[in-house]
Amino acid sequence: AQKITQTQPGMFVQEKEAVTLDCTYDTSDQSYGLFWYKQPSSGEMIFLIYQGSYDEQNATEGRYSLNFQKARKSANLVISASQLGDSAMYFCAWVGTNSKLTFGKGITLSVRP
């Protein structure tokens, strides 16, 4: 079974600084995708970024970038220039050819003013 690991218990970052949220996965599939979602206290899961296993370049979406290291099976999320509104839970998720999303446990990010 696929496994997504997010081990950081909680992260703190100063406003305007960059932060990296870690995610590792375990799969024997050759074709898969990785997602990051943000969940603020309101509960809604907000899509941030997607990386396909065959994408040669790291995905970027505005202030979000994904540091994809396929051989190490890691897909870390980098948030640049942190804002107070970035304080939330962040979930890494994996999808394979069965089209089922498997989520990690999540990481709490707190941005300090």
Partner 1 sequence: ETGVTQTPRHLVMGMTNKKSLKCEQHLGHNAMYWYKQSAKKPLELMFVYNFKEQTENNSVPSRFSPECPNSSHLFLHLHTLQPEDSALYLCASSQDGRLAYNEQFFGPGTRLTVL
Residues that bind partner 1 (CB under 8 A): 4, 31-33, 35, 37, 42-47, 50, 52, 91, 93, 95-97, 99-106
Shortest distance in whole angstroms from residue 76 CB to partner 1 = 18
When the beta carbons of 44 and 56 are compared against partner 1, the nearer one is 44
When the beta carbons of 13 and 95 are compared against partner 1, the nearer one is 95
When the beta carbons of 32 and 68 are compared against partner 1, the nearer one is 32
Shortest distance in whole angstroms from residue 7 CB to partner 1 = 13
**Cα dihedral sign for 33, 26, 102, 9?**
negative
C-beta separation of 88 from 38 below 8 A: yes
When the beta carbons of 41 and 71 are compared against partner 1, the nearer one is 41
Residues 6+ apart with CB under 8 A from 71: none
Alpha carbon distance 74, 26 (integer Å): 9
Query: Backbone dihedral region of 46: left (phi > 0), alpha (psi from -120 to 50 degrees) or beta?
Result: beta
Alpha carbon distance 13, 113 (integer Å): 9
Shortest distance in whole angstroms from residue 14 CB to partner 1 = 27
Shortest distance in whole angstroms from residue 33 CB to partner 1 = 5
